[in-house]
C-alpha cells in the first residue's frame, strides 16, 4: 500500500511507520521536524516537513495514497488544546481536494463508556478519566465528529491505555463497542492494528476498538 502517516514522530506513529516499511509498504511520514525521526526511518520512508494545520501544504502528501493515518495527539492531556480536531480538519480537507478516500483516526477508548465495558470501568474509571483529561477528551471528540462528517471511507480506532511494552503481534478488536476487559495495548500492537485496518475496507464507517 501507499500510506501517509501524520504524527510519525510520536510513540505510536514511529512504530507504525517502521512496521509499514518492514512490510514493504511505500510510506510518507509527515512531520514538523525530520530530525526527530530515527535514522533508519529517514533512510527508508519519504519524509516531508510540513505544517499539518495547513491543508494546502499537505495536499501532495495525501494525493494518490491508499490510506492516510493520523496518530497526532497532545503531549499534555490536562491543558486546553485543539490539535487533534484542527489537524484532522486539515487532513480531511486535503484528502477531499485530492480525491483520497481511506482515512484512519487514532482516538482513545477512554472517551466513551458503554457496551463492552465492565461496571468498574464504565462507572468508576472512565468518569475519573473524563474529569482529569477533559480538555484532551473534548479535542478528540471533536476530531471524531469531524471524521464522521467527512464523507470519506473513515475508520476511528480507539485503543485503551498505551504502553511501551514489547508487542505480541496480536490484539483484540470490537466494532462499534468497547473491547471487554480492554485495559491496555502496547504501541507496537496498536501499530499492527492500524496497518491491518488501513487495508480492511470492511472497517469503513465504523469505530474499531482494539486492546491487548
Contact predicate 13/68, CB 8 Å: no
**CATH code for position 91:** 3.40.50.720
Q: What percent of the chain has pLDDT over 90?
A: 75
3-state secondary structure of 66: coil
- Mean pLDDT throughout 5-32? 96
pLDDT value of position 80:
81
Size (the chain), residues: 212
- In whole angstroms, give the CA distance from residue 167 to residue 59: 33
Q: What is the pLDDT of residue 132?
A: 75
Residues 62 and 206: their CA atoms lie apart, in Å, by 22
User: Helix, strand, coil: what percent of the chain each, to 5?
Assistant: 45, 20, 35
**What's the rounded mean pLDDT across residues 181-186?**
92
Q: Is 80 exceeded by the pLDDT of residue 122?
A: no
Cα distance between residue 69 and residue 59, in whole Å = 14
Give the C-alpha separation, 120 to 182, whole Å: 12
When pLDDT is cut at 50, 70 and 90, the band that residue 74 belongs to is confident
pLDDT at residue 47 above 80?
yes
Average pLDDT, the chain: 92
Binning pLDDT at 50, 70 and 90, where does residue 164 land? very high
pLDDT of residue 77: 63
Q: How far apart are CA 12 and CA 70, in angstroms?
A: 10
Mean pLDDT across the stretch 13-20?
Answer: 96
pLDDT tier at 201 (50, 70, 90 boundaries)?
confident
Structural domain count of the chain: 1
Among 13-17, 78-82, 130-134, 137-141, the least confident range: 130-134
Buried b (16+ CB within 10 A) or exposed e, 40-60: ebeeebebbebebeebebbbe
Taking the C-alpha atoms of residue 14 and residue 186, their distance in angstroms, rounded to an integer, is: 13
The residues, ordered by sequence, that sit 6+ positions from 135 with a Cβ below 8 Å of its Cβ are: 77, 78, 79, 80, 81
Percent of the chain with pLDDT over 70: 97
The DSSP symbol for 101 reads -
Beta-bridge partners for 162 = 185
- C-alpha cell of 51? 505544517
Domain residues for the domain of 153 are 2-211
Residue 92 buriedness (CB in 10 A; 0-12 / 13-18 / 19+): buried
Amino acid at each position: 500500500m501507499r500510506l501517509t502517516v501524520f504524527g510519525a514522530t510520536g510513540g505510536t506513529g514511529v512504530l507504525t511507520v517502521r512496521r509499514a516499511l518492514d512490510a514493504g509498504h511505500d510510506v510518507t511520514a509527515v512531520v514538523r521536524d525530520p530530525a526527530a525521526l530515527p535514522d533508519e526511518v529517514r533512510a527508508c520512508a519519504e519524509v516531508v516537513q510540513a505544517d499539518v494545520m495547513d491543508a494546502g501544504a499537505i495536499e501532495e502528501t495525501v494525493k494518490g495514497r491508499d490510506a492516510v493515518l493520523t496518530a497526532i495527539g497532545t503531549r499534555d492531556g490536562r491543558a486546553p488544546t485543539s490539535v487533534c480536531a484542527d489537524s484532522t480538519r486539515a487532513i480531511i480537507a486535503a484528502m477531499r481536494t485530492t480525491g483520497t478516500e481511506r482515512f484512519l483516526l487514532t482516538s482513545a477508548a477512554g472517551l466513551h463508556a458503554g457496551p463492552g465495558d465492565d461496571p468498574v470501568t464504565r462507572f468508576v474509571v472512565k468518569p475519573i478519566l473524563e474529569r482529569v483529561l477533559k480538555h484532551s477528551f473534548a479535542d478528540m471528540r471533536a476530531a471524531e465528529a469531524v471524521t464522521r462528517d467527512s464523507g470519506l471511507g473513515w475508520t476511528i480506532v480507539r485503543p485503551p491505555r498505551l504502553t511501551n511494552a514489547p508487542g505480541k503481534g496480536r490484539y483484540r478488536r470490537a466494532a462499534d463497542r468497547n473491547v471487554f476487559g480492554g485495559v491496555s495495548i502496547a504501541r507496537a500492537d496498536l501499530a499492527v492494528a492500524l496497518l491491518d485496518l488501513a487495508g480492511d475496507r470492511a472497517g469503513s464507517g465504523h469505530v474499531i476498538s482494539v486492546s491487548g
